Amino acid sequence: MSSPLPLKNATLHDVAREAGVSLITASRALSNPALVSDKTIARVQNAVAATGYIPNLLAGGLKSRRSLTVAGLVPTISVPQFLPTVRALTETLDAAGYQLILGQSGYDHSREEKLLNTMLSRRPDGIVVTGLVHSPAAREQLRRQGIPVVETWDLSDRPVDMMVGISHVKVGGAIAGFFLGRGWQRMGVATGDDHRAMMRYEGFVATLGRDVPTAFVPAPTSLERGRRALGELLEKDPHIEAIYCSSDGFAHGVMIEARARGLRIPQDLVVCGFGDADFSAHIDPSLTTAHVNGAEIGRLAAQMIIDRCQGRPIAQSHVDVGFRIIERQSTAVAA
Amino acid sequence: MSSPLPLKNATLHDVAREAGVSLITASRALSNPALVSDKTIARVQNAVAATGYIPNLLAGGLKSRRSLTVAGLVPTISVPQFLPTVRALTETLDAAGYQLILGQSGYDHSREEKLLNTMLSRRPDGIVVTGLVHSPAAREQLRRQGIPVVETWDLSDRPVDMMVGISHVKVGGAIAGFFLGRGWQRMGVATGDDHRAMMRYEGFVATLGRDVPTAFVPAPTSLERGRRALGELLEKDPHIEAIYCSSDGFAHGVMIEARARGLRIPQDLVVCGFGDADFSAHIDPSLTTAHVNGAEIGRLAAQMIIDRCQGRPIAQSHVDVGFRIIERQSTAVAA
DNA sequence: CTGTTAGCGCTTTCAG
DNA sequence: CTGAAAGCGCTAACAG
């Protein structure tokens, strides 16, 4: 090392000069070493260390048209349901050299369009959205970019491009069917008002074939809102037997409020949530819920983007990861 | 609009031609309208609409040396404690036109350094890290970039640059003092092994002036691990009276396990957590905890970065946001 | 295996 | 208020 590292950020030009090679050879030594002799590679690497060089991906991306970034849009990062997905996305992308740029669209469709534009101006190599892209303008916008797009956590007949998720209508139907199979008739629903929760609600009601007392709350749901929602449902039907809640935190609130009102779970009231949160198996009573493999959704979405970027064929561009109802103590009534 | 939007992404060049002005005038009309006549601005804006132009921030950033991105490093996005901070960061930055690029360093210091380099290669205009930057090489690396750096959720005498957080030693001391003030002597601690939790543990023990039975678990803590931790603590002292837990989810697990073992809270055992999670006020019994304004940390950190980037003076570059112990039912014993 | 040339799309000078 | 020239740092394309 000739001197203490210089203050100004070194460029590839500096590295090349230090190594005594041309600019492009230095470039290749770092990003495509197969084309360069071992001796040269070593000299370039020494020069990198000596200069404290950090590559400028912005400059490289401008020419190569690969930013090595992927844009991720979630309604809000505060809702724990999507955390495993975001985490798996980040990790899978990172392993392939891509960085996730996270955007929060809120539960407001007009913001979706604006945020999308902001994201596109960074020229991501792919886009992953949580839920479907709803605005037609945004859908058209996305198609025109010609970059891979994955819609997640939902399924639809008209995807923008690729898709990995579940059928929320089926989830709602399965939970209603589960309640019916156990002979519970006086049901209730506590649900958020976002698109996916409403799909589950519709599936629930469709399978049941009739309306049920329902507490609607604005998304995102929370434990606190669950406590209030139970109050609302008990007003509508004081003898309610079984409640489906659109999230596990929400269901947890219903259970706590039930206990506070002297209702025993599951003897007096059974509860089923959605999402299988990390706490759901461990609270007391443990919570029956519909499990969805959120990490798998993130991993698959990332892999689809990566494969497409690298020109590999996509095994399946429309994946239903499915769900399963996990029966726990909150619905475990003696026969 | 002359024709259906072209397939290829329009460049500023196309916009300028469509508007009948020079490239640079089109540029100014969009990014510095004060310098351009109203009539020209209108023509450029029409051309933008007609061509479907989306600016390329990568290209602009290359010349202007402002990427309008900020790198954010968290141990893991899965731990709810930092969610309000990440959320406030994203929102405050977004409002000023900056995007957050999120990186997960894990609880592993060696990854910190590598991730930092990856991030720096995107030339962010600022960096926010959760916790302190520990590796000396990384600290030096960061300083040399000459970009604003904020370390959060902690305080130290030797910040890399700016800092907004709390003293974890003081938190631990305050909780021990709170226990002592109520006359509880048989204490226990259940704590994660990450740096901040260990600082609280040290503060707790220092204030107490003696060692206590302690269950150490690898970070991140969880409800499930809390249930096991109580078992461990009861083995060490079957007559334990008061337990401090390093997170609220962890404390919740301790409480559930206590109930499962027939221990009443707070009559037989009192519990104090850390973080004031969204559920803590609403579980039953509600959880006494140390509250930290995580959103405020995110907001302040973002504002520091923005102010520095825009050449404004920073009011305070070393902020202690403080904490307060919120007493709830889990420590509410009758006198 | 190595080098030269020509830009990527935009913004910063410096002139009108 | 508008424009022409120059170049940010890097890589694709073509030579040697």
**A91/B104 CB distance under 8 A:** yes
**B77/A54 CB distance under 8 A:** no
> Based on the domain organization, do B47 and B71 belong to the same domain?
no
- Within a domain: B1: no
Q: Spell out the per-residue pLDDT of chain A, length 335, in tens.
A: 344 455 578 999 999 999 999 999 999 999 989 999 999 999 999 999 999 999 999 999 999 999 999 999 999 888 888 999 999 999 999 999 999 999 988 877 778 888 999 999 999 999 999 999 988 888 988 998 889 999 999 999 999 999 999 999 999 999 999 999 999 999 999 999 999 999 999 999 999 999 999 999 999 999 999 999 999 999 999 999 999 999 999 999 999 999 999 999 999 999 999 999 988 998 889 999 999 999 999 999 999 999 999 989 998 999 999 999 999 999 998 65
> Based on the domain organization, do B133 and B221 belong to the same domain?
no
Task: With a cut of 90, say whether residue B134 has pLDDT above it.
Answer: no
Quick one: closest CA in A to B249, which residue? A279
B7 or A261, which is more confident: A261
- Within a domain: B32: yes
Chain D positions with an atom below 7 A of a protein C-beta are 1-13
Through-space separation of residue B20 CA and nucleotide D11 C1' in angstroms: 32
Nearest nucleotide over every DNA/RNA strand to the A15 CA, judged by C1': D9
Helix/strand/coil for B130: strand
Enumerate the β-bridge partners of residue A272. A244, A288
- Within a domain: A327: no
Mean pLDDT of B238-259: 97
DSSP states of A153-222: S---SS-SSEEEE--HHHHHHHHHHHHHHTT--SEEEEEE-SHHHHHHHHHHHHHHTS---EEEEPSSP-
**A121/B67 CB distance under 8 A:** no
Place of tokens 């390093």: B246
The single-letter DSSP state of residue B317 is S
Nearest to B87 among A78, A94, A117 (CB): A78
How many domains are there within chain B? Answer: 3
Which residues of chain A are within 8 Å of residue B284 when distances are taken between CB atoms? 256, 259-260
Give the Å distances, CA to CA, from B140 to A15, A45, B13, B145, B146: 20, 20, 41, 9, 11
**B282/A55 CB distance under 8 A:** no
Through-space separation of residue A30 CA and nucleotide D1 C1' in angstroms: 46
**A61/B58 CB distance under 8 A:** yes
How far, in Å, CA of B208 to CA of A137, rounded?
63
CB B85 within 8 A of CB B321: no
Q: Which residue is the nearest neighbor of C8, CA to C1'?
A: A63
Quick one: closest CA in A to B227, which residue? A282
Nearest to B144 among A52, A90, A227 (CB): A52
**A77/B87 CB distance under 8 A:** yes
Question: Can you give the pLDDT at residue A6?
Answer: 55
Q: Which residues of B85-113 are buried (b: 16+ CB within 10 A; e: fewer)?
A: bbbbbbbbbbeeebbbbbbbbebeeeebb
> Based on the domain organization, do B175 and B34 belong to the same domain?
no
> Based on the domain organization, do B150 and B239 belong to the same domain?
no
Question: Can you give the pLDDT at residue A5?
Answer: 55
CATH number of the domain encompassing residue B158:
3.40.50.2300
Nearest to A121 among B54, B83, B141 (CB): B54
Q: Which residues of A50-88 are buried (b: 16+ CB within 10 A; e: fewer)?
A: bbbbbbbbbbbbbeeeebbbbbbbbbbbbbbbbbbbbbb
Question: Can you give the pLDDT at residue A3?
Answer: 44
> Based on the domain organization, do B135 and B159 belong to the same domain?
yes
Q: Residues 6 or more apart from B63 whose CB is under 8 A from it?
A: none
Nearest nucleotide over every DNA/RNA strand to the B60 CA, judged by C1': C10
CB B99 within 8 A of CB B67: no
Enumerate the β-bridge partners of residue B196. none
**pLDDT, averaged across chain B:** 93
Q: Residues 6 or more apart from B58 whose CB is under 8 A from it?
A: A58, A61, A62, A67, A122, A123
> Based on the domain organization, do A156 and A194 belong to the same domain?
no
The single-letter DSSP state of residue B334 is -
How far, in Å, CA of A298 to CA of A164, rounded?
9
> Based on the domain organization, do B199 and B275 belong to the same domain?
yes
Q: Which domain, by its residues, includes B206? A: 168-291
Mutation target to probe the A interface, by most A beta carbons within 10 A, among B76, B77, B100, B254 is B77
How far, in Å, CA of A13 to CA of A32, rounded?
17
Helix/strand/coil for B313: coil
Mutation target to probe the A interface, by most A beta carbons within 10 A, among B121, B224, B330 is B121
Nearest to B77 among A59, A86, A284 (CB): A86
Nearest nucleotide over every DNA/RNA strand to the B22 CA, judged by C1': D3
Strands B242-245, B187-192: pairing is parallel
Picking from A165, A163, A167, the residue whose alpha carbon sits closest to that of residue A314 is: A163
**pLDDT classification of B324: cutoffs 50, 70, 90:** very high
Question: Can you give the pLDDT at residue A23?
Answer: 92
A108 or B123, which is more confident: B123
> Based on the domain organization, do A160 and A302 belong to the same domain?
yes
* Tokens of residue B265, six digits: 């809270």
How far, in Å, CA of B177 to CA of A66, rounded?
56
For chain B, how far is it from start to end, CA to CA, in angstroms?
Answer: 78
How far, in Å, CA of B120 to CA of B40, rounded?
38
Mean pLDDT of B190-204: 97
Picking from B82, B228, B239, B275, the residue whose alpha carbon sits closest to that of residue A87 is: B82
**B78/A84 CB distance under 8 A:** yes
Whether the beta carbon of A27 falls within 7 A of nucleic chain D: the reply is yes
Quick one: closest CA in A to B281, which residue? A224
CB A130 within 8 A of CB A297: no
Through-space separation of residue B143 CA and nucleotide C1 C1' in angstroms: 38
How far, in Å, CA of A133 to CA of B295, rounded?
29
> Based on the domain organization, do B175 and B261 belong to the same domain?
yes
How far, in Å, CA of B292 to CA of B294, rounded?
6
How far, in Å, CA of B313 to CA of B318, rounded?
13
Mutation target to probe the B interface, by most B beta carbons within 10 A, among A279, A283, A329 is A279
> Based on the domain organization, do A213 and A267 belong to the same domain?
yes
Mean pLDDT of B277-294: 93
Q: Which residue is the nearest neighbor of D9, CA to C1'?
A: A59
DSSP states of B62-86: HHHS---EEEEEES-TTSGGGHHHH
CB B226 within 8 A of CB B251: yes
**B284/A224 CB distance under 8 A:** no
Size of interface A-B (CB pairs under 8 A): 143
Q: Which residue is the nearest neighbor of C7, CA to C1'?
A: A63
Through-space separation of residue B64 CA and nucleotide C3 C1' in angstroms: 30
Helix/strand/coil for B199: helix
Picking from A97, A86, A121, the residue whose alpha carbon sits closest to that of residue A31 is: A97
Question: Can you give the pLDDT at residue B6?
Answer: 55
> Based on the domain organization, do A85 and A230 belong to the same domain?
no
CA Rg, chain A, in Å?
26
Which residues of chain A are within 8 Å of residue B83 when distances are taken between CB atoms? 77-78
How far, in Å, CA of A92 to CA of A89, rounded?
5
Nearest to B54 among A77, A117, A253 (CB): A117
Q: Which residue is the nearest neighbor of D8, CA to C1'?
A: B63
B6 or A236, which is more confident: A236
Picking from A75, A73, A76, A105, the residue whose alpha carbon sits closest to that of residue A89 is: A73
Task: With a cut of 60, say whether residue B153 has pLDDT above it.
Answer: yes
- Within a domain: B215: yes
> Based on the domain organization, do A298 and A161 belong to the same domain?
yes
- Within a domain: A333: no
**B94/A103 CB distance under 8 A:** yes
Task: With a cut of 70, say whether residue B7 has pLDDT above it.
Answer: no
Question: Can you give the pLDDT at residue A280?
Answer: 93
Give the Å distances, CA to CA, from B63 to A62, A181, B311: 11, 66, 19
Question: Can you give the pLDDT at residue B107?
Answer: 74
* Tokens of residue A23, six digits: 């600019």
Quick one: closest CA in A to B252, which residue? A283
Through-space separation of residue A34 CA and nucleotide C4 C1' in angstroms: 21
- Within a domain: B50: yes
> How many residues appear in chain A?
335
**B121/A259 CB distance under 8 A:** no
Whether the beta carbon of B62 falls within 7 A of nucleic chain D: the reply is yes
- Within a domain: A6: no
- Within a domain: B330: no
Place of tokens 């050879």: A25
Amino acid at position A136, single letter: P
Question: Can you give the pLDDT at residue B80?
Answer: 85
CA angle A217–A222–A223, rounded 5-degree value: 120
Question: Can you give the pLDDT at residue B105?
Answer: 87
Question: Can you give the pLDDT at residue B5?
Answer: 55
CB A65 within 8 A of CB B59: no
Enumerate the β-bridge partners of residue A127. A71, A149
* Tokens of residue B161, six digits: 């640059």
How far, in Å, CA of B323 to CA of B171, rounded?
7
How many other C-beta atoms lie within 10 A of the C-beta of residue A260?
11
Question: Can you give the pLDDT at residue B109?
Answer: 77
Whether the beta carbon of A30 falls within 7 A of nucleic chain D: the reply is yes
How far is the alpha carbon of A208 from chain B, nearest alpha carbon, in Å?
32
B154-184 pLDDT, tens digit per residue, is 999 999 999 999 999 999 999 999 999 999 9
Strands A214-217, A288-291: pairing is unpaired
B63-119 pLDDT, tens digit per residue, is 898 999 999 999 988 888 899 999 999 999 999 999 999 998 887 777 888 899 999
